[in-house]
Amino acid sequence: MKAVRIAAPLQIGVAEIEKPEIKADEILVKIKYVGFCGSDLNTYRGRNPMVKMPVVPGHEVGAVIEKVGSNVPDTFKEGMTVTLNPYTNCGSCASCRNGRYNACEHNETLGVQRQGVMCEYAALPWTKVIPAGDIPVRTCALIEPMSVGFHAVSRAGVTDNMVVMVIGCGMVGLGAVMRASLRGAIVIAADVDDEKLTLACEAGASYTINTITENVHERVQQITGGYGADVVIEAVGSPVTYVMAVNEVGFTGCVTCIGYAQNEVSFQTKLFVQKELDIRGSRNATPEDFRAVINCISTGRYPIEKFISRVVKPEEAAEAMKEWSDNPGKVFRILVEF
């Protein structure tokens, strides 16, 4: 079957790989759309230390059930539109013992620590296949990255009494904006790109800050009446935005970090103590987060289709990835259609 494969840094193309056979507890899905995410971009650039090449990327999926194994519950039917939970969990590490399987110490994500699903078919345990109801199969490829943003809002314990600042308005950040606004919070969206900030408003942000052209601290102080944000969600993974998050959160606030900073980050640690901050990591997403995203999309309230920057065929993936690498700030999601 046809697959997109990254053979080495800056080398991506179409390859032929073996079509999988399912086991009794597995489901065979026909892949329709797969999204390129930030980890795929880092793999392409040779900056992802968790990847062993050659690798088939892809874990943001819209698919249709092709075949079900003999031990799969009968709630799964051929022809159902689904997305995939791309994470694994060992069941025995500290995270798993505490029921936080999304943060499993030994997690292997599709397309990162193991071969991904940017190909025509995939076989997965039925527990990793998530029915998506009436959501269009193309839109299903956006569910996973949005669920990561949804999870960060849950980690921060956002309520309707809070002002929430989301730094970074890519797909994950937009997910955080949406869920924070759904919970009734006042949301400030911050990014370097005005087009992304416009979409953040459509996703529920009440205020926007362009971190290049505006004085971030002055704007946050103005919006919050001098208190600072109750919660800051960092969805970029840059030393600059990590420091910004700690500076702009108010006293006794919460900073929740999604992004991985490639370089060391230097903080004025007195703010950790002086403000008595809660600083939390947020990793991947839970099944509950996936369901929440599906419920949210199903309302039809949000311009989900605007989150798709481009749809390409597998043969066009190399060109699309190069263009994204050359101008990353202008892309939300590129989908590969099979």
DSSP assignment of 235-290, as one string?
A: -S--HHHHHHHHHHEEEEEEEEE-SPPSS-----THHHHHTT-EEEE--S--HHHH
**Exposure of 50 in the CB half-sphere (CA atoms within 13 A):** 16
Share of the chain above pLDDT 90, in %: 93
Reported as a single tens digit per residue, the pLDDT across 211-241 is: 999 999 999 999 999 999 999 999 999 999 9
Reported as a single tens digit per residue, the pLDDT across 64-103 is: 999 999 999 999 999 999 999 999 999 999 999 999 999 9
Task: Check if the beta carbon of residue 82 is closer than 8 Å to that of residue 132.
Answer: yes
The amino acid sitting at 195 is: E
Sign (positive/negative) of CA torsion 161, 163, 169, 172? Answer: negative
Distance from C-alpha of 58 to C-alpha of 112, rounded to nearest angstrom = 8
Residue with tokens 């420091």: 243
C-alpha to C-alpha distances, 21 to 25, 121, 171, nearest whole angstrom:
12, 10, 33
Residues 6+ away with beta carbon under 8 Å from 245: 165, 167, 232, 233, 234, 255, 257
Ranges 5-9, 81-85, 160-164, 329-333: which has the least confidence = 329-333
**How many other β-carbons are positioned within 10 Å of the β-carbon of residue 262?**
11
Distance from C-alpha of 272 to C-alpha of 118, rounded to nearest angstrom = 42
Task: Check if the beta carbon of residue 178 is closer than 8 Å to that of residue 233.
Answer: no
Reported as a single tens digit per residue, the pLDDT across 132-142 is: 999 999 999 99
C-alpha to C-alpha distances, 233 to 177, 180, 216, 254, nearest whole angstrom:
9, 10, 15, 8
Token reading at 284: 């991947």
C-alpha to C-alpha distances, 236 to 224, 242, 255, nearest whole angstrom:
22, 8, 13
Task: Check if the beta carbon of residue 131 is closer than 8 Å to that of residue 82.
Answer: yes
Distance from C-alpha of 54 to C-alpha of 40, rounded to nearest angstrom = 12
Q: In the beta sheet, which residues pair with residue 124? A: 27
Reported as a single tens digit per residue, the pLDDT across 237-291 is: 999 999 999 999 999 999 999 998 878 898 889 999 999 999 999 999 999 999 9
The mean pLDDT value for 35-48 works out to 92
Task: Check if the beta carbon of residue 176 is closer than 8 Å to that of residue 147.
Answer: no
Write down the H helix ranges in 122-275.
137-140, 143-156, 171-182, 194-202, 216-224, 239-248, 270-274
Distance from C-alpha of 240 to C-alpha of 14, rounded to nearest angstrom = 37
